[in-house]
Amino acid sequence: MSDDILIRRDGRAGRITLNRPKALNALTYEMCLAVAAVLENWRRDDGIDLLILDATGDKAFCAGGDIAEMHRSGLDGDYDFGRRFWRDEYRMNAALAEYPKPVVSLMQGFTMGGGVGLGGHASHRVVGESSRISMPECGIGFVPDVGGSYLLARAPGRLGEYLGMTAARMGPGDAIHAGFADSFLPEADWPDLIAELTRTGNASISATAASPAPSGPLAAQQARIDRLFDHGDLAGLVHALQKDDSDFAADTLKSLSRNAPLSLAVTLEMLRRLRAGALRIRTALELEFRVSWRIMEHGDFLEGIRAAIIDKDRNPRWRYGLSDVPADAVTQMLAPLGQHTLNFE
């Protein structure tokens, strides 16, 4: 097994530790498969009462998926690697969210995209003073995935739209308010918490040991966010922001203007659909996979990666403008996949 991920038994706990601190613990395909395999192995292991999911280094729990290989293969017209990565990753996300044993995640520093797909679906989610959680996918021409749309759809009011479309970063207090974390504990106390978890196998200790979380701005901004983001399409949302003379509206519009308009419009429609039906993690992942299947060929993903990661010119050439995303382009991205539909077998 690669040293990129450390998997072992520790007392009553199964330990999964991401170990790529120089890469901000970005999740590779091999790491994803390793997590999936050990989740299955430990499911019926009577010697393990709970799982602990953490990471080495102080800068990041996991800053997302390692997407460089997806970009290389996509440029060559080979979309199969990305589709395979996403399919297996989404199955792993579902396994975490539905796991029959408690899973405690400790999310320090940057927890973004694929990191949310790991730590954000645990049953006991701990954040510390350095935690910065976000779903930044619209900035690279993608959409919130790895079950992130499920968490966004469950967030209070219209916070899901705001967080998913602007890529705003949540500190510990905001993450708890938005439903991306459960409890706050100063990071200096995490080793003691882990020691107690491994000794007792009692996941509820993560809640009883918690401290009051530092306050964040989201709760105070909730009413304004709910009003501005309560629109059925992207053009209406942009118009509302343009009419509002607050600094918050101006900053929000600036954030949206950096991101891919097609991704923004698809994200808005995804959240609408998820809230309209029975909100389940598998429903969200299946909807996300429809976009993943098409995003390299028909979306802005390859261009977004080029501008942000490969050339780093921060000047992406998106397919559409903020106010002119065709409705049929959104519909196409979210159309059922037929025989390619994501299943969880």
CATH, residue 186 = 3.90.226.10
Same domain, 198 and 294: no
The answer to the question of residue 203 being in a domain is yes
The answer to the question of residue 304 being in a domain is yes
CA distance 169 to 147: 17
Dihedral of alpha carbons 97, 153, 298, 118, sign: negative
Same domain, 236 and 271: yes
Same domain, 80 and 173: yes
Q: Closest by alpha carbon to 148, among 119, 122, 183, 113?
A: 113
Same domain, 328 and 229: yes
Cα–Cα–Cα angle for 120, 67, 5, rounded to 5 degrees: 60
Same domain, 231 and 173: no
CA distance 118 to 111: 9
Q: Among 189, 208, 227, where does a domain finish? A: 208
pLDDT over 80 at 301, yes or no: yes
Q: Among 153, 186, 208, where does a domain finish? A: 208
Same domain, 188 and 288: no
Instruction: State which residues form the domain around 288.
Output: 218-340
The answer to the question of residue 100 being in a domain is yes
The answer to the question of residue 141 being in a domain is no
Same domain, 309 and 285: yes
Same domain, 195 and 259: no
pLDDT over 60 at 164, yes or no: yes
- Of residues 11 and 76, more confidence is placed in 11
Same domain, 56 and 191: yes
pLDDT over 70 at 183, yes or no: yes
Instruction: For the chain, give the mean pLDDT.
Output: 95
pLDDT over 80 at 71, yes or no: no
Same domain, 66 and 189: yes
Percent of the chain with pLDDT over 90: 90
Q: How many domains does the chain have?
A: 2
Q: Are 210 and 185 in contact (CB under 8 A)?
A: yes
Q: Among 190, 208, 226, where does a domain finish? A: 208
pLDDT digits (tens, 9 = 90+) for 314-324: 999 999 999 89
Same domain, 106 and 72: yes
The answer to the question of residue 46 being in a domain is yes
CA distance 308 to 302: 10
Main-chain dihedrals φ then ψ at residue 191, nearest 5 degrees: -60, -40
Cα 141 to the chain's mean position, in Å?
Answer: 15
* Mean pLDDT within 7-11: 98
Same domain, 39 and 70: yes
pLDDT over 90 at 74, yes or no: no
